[in-house]
Amino acid sequence: MSLQPQQHMYQKGVKHLCENGLTQVPNKYILPKPERPGIFVDDGCINLPVIDFTQLQGADRLRVLASLSKACQEFGFFQLINHGIGDEVTRKMIDVSKEFFELPFEDRQRYMSSDLHAPVRYGTSFNQNNDKVFCWRDFLKLSCHPLQDYSSFWPSSPLDLREAMGEYSKKTQNLYERVMEAILESLGVTNETAIFEQGNQLMMVNWYPACPQPQLTLGLPPHSDYGLLTLLLQDQVEGLQIQHNGKWVTVKPIPNSFVVNIGDQFEIFSNGRYKSVVHRATVNSMKSRLSVASLHSLNAYHNVTPSPILIDDLNPRLYRDTSYADFLDFLSSSDFKCKRFLESRKLH
């Protein structure tokens, strides 16, 4: 079925709309009133637990592991500082990402695809094949691990994109493995590390253009991340909000840090001990915002199952086995909102 001309225009992305002049948000992006960003919002910023990665390597390891466990149980999120990835690497990643979104539309358009499995995909909204209301967001999604299998598919413009993103993806993959090792240790499960090192890494580069009426729309709707763990790099523009104690609270960016959050796969693996928390992205009228999510998950056809070590008479199994392929099938066929996939995997 062919798209209506106006519908086709929205499929080209928010930046393309903005480049053609925009003074108000089109109806396609306006949320129903109960879903707009001003509802159930705490006006202040939340100070997420801060984990100092260097202290995990030293004499304080046990204390930091206890803090890590508390953060994963109570928030599902933490800020990671002194993580060992140099400022130059993260700055180049932010800069080259912004340069990509500044390319002429024709250069970006060649990477557009409706195939969720494509190794490189430029797109818009959240799930543009199914979204009834579009999100104020464009994205570039790159498959990254193992790097040698994918980097030749990546955009060749800007000229330094492959080098900058390749270096960044290697560093974040290594950091993910070390953080995951600590999270498993904090959970008391240390014999399954190898499973988590052989999975997928997706890089999701998100561009949220300045919006003339930010109170009417969202950059990303409420959702939880499907995978094991997400490492989020942000510029210093606020926009990430998490659901905490029944309210939406804004996460204040800390310079040179990563926001790390537990994904659905790890909530299943931990049998519900560590939480995959619903979050969203807001937009603003003054500044565009860029974020880079490094999404780490098990291989597409590898089932995640609750760890037997965490199941006993007092802690019965809560989730059925599931795979990333199950999730993609769900995403392709459903209006995906607010953890419904994870809810569908519960046994009780």
pLDDT in tens, 208-263: 999 999 999 999 999 999 899 999 999 989 999 999 888 899 999 999 999 999 99
Q: If you average pLDDT over every residue of the chain, what do you get?
A: 89
Q: What's the rounded Cα separation, in Å, for the pair 92 and 71?
A: 30
Structure tokens at 189: 């499960």
Q: What is the pTM of this model?
A: 0.93
Give residue 4's pLDDT: 43
Q: Is the pLDDT of residue 152 over 80?
A: yes
The stretch 74-80 carries a mean pLDDT of 96
pLDDT in tens, 86-122: 999 999 999 999 999 999 999 999 998 877 778 999 9
Is 32 exposed, middle or buried, given 0-12, 13-18 or 19+ CB atoms closer than 10 A? exposed
The stretch 296-310 carries a mean pLDDT of 90
Residue 132, C-beta contacts closer than 8 angstroms, at least 6 positions apart: 335
Give residue 279's pLDDT: 94
Could you give all domains of the chain from N- to C-terminal order, each with its CATH number? Answer: 9-309 (2.60.120.330)
Is 133 exposed, middle or buried, given 0-12, 13-18 or 19+ CB atoms closer than 10 A? middle
DSSP one-letter string for 244-276: ETTEEEEEPP-TT-EEEEE-HHHHHHTTTSS--
What is the three-class DSSP state of 322?
strand
DSSP 319: B
Q: Is the pLDDT of residue 62 over 70?
A: yes
